[in-house]
Amino acid sequence: MAEAQLQQFLTKVAQLNAFVSRCQSHPDLLQTLRDCSHHQQVVDLAQSMGYDIGRRWGDSLGSASKSCDNLLAGAIPAQGQETSQILIETGDFRLLRLHSCSACSPPGFWYDQAEAEWLCMLQGSARLQFADENVERELNRGDSLMIAPHRRHRLVATDGGGGTIWLALFWTPDSGKVFSS
């Protein structure tokens, strides 16, 4: 482990320990922590108390000096927004880099697209809801997901802070081939 990574890890552990200690000494805070249903709620609670636990170990600091070819570099979108950048587009497929910051689909809105979609989470996390499932799906760094054409889905939430960065690959499957998701 490089020295910078070691220091980043130790700093995060110290922040987590301080956050846990404070919650344990205040029953109301401990209950608020218990009431959190997903990662971003815990991060937001810690941040409201001055603790920086949101950046996952190994995530970049978002330095402007990074190469423009770095998928994790770039400006963070405004809260509630998402930016989209086409990385590659041919007649057969389209590869996008998405950067979301506390973004979600509008109430009642469902994606229903003719294309197949493959998602790969590079940084942060997101929660998705499918119309044909009762339970939300949480995607974390390194996770991927296939979405069949016309499978209705919506974005429930993405991380705040540095946001969520993912790749989305879209294509139209051959009509004679079976698609599984």
Residue type, 122: L
Is the CB of residue 98 less than 8 Å from the CB of residue 84? yes
CA atoms within 13 A on the CB side of 105: 16
Question: What is the pLDDT at residue 62?
Answer: 46
pLDDT tens, 45-91? 887 776 777 665 555 554 433 445 789 888 888 888 999 999 999 98
Q: Which of 181, 157, 43 is CA-nearest to residue 102? A: 157
Above 70 in pLDDT, residue 1?
Answer: no
Return the residue matching tokens 């320990």. 17
Question: Beta strand pairing status for 125-130 and 164-171?
Answer: unpaired
Distance CA 98, CA 75 (A): 12
Is the CB of residue 39 less than 8 Å from the CB of residue 125? yes
Domain range list for the chain: 3-48, 81-171
Phi/psi at 19 (nearest 5 deg)? -65, -45
Distance CA 163, CA 81 (A): 10
Is the CB of residue 115 less than 8 Å from the CB of residue 171? yes
pLDDT tens, 116-159? 999 999 999 999 999 999 999 999 999 999 999 999 999 999 99
Distance CA 31, CA 36 (A): 9
- 81-171 folds as Jelly Rolls (2.60.120)
pLDDT tens, 12-37? 787 788 788 888 888 888 898 899 88
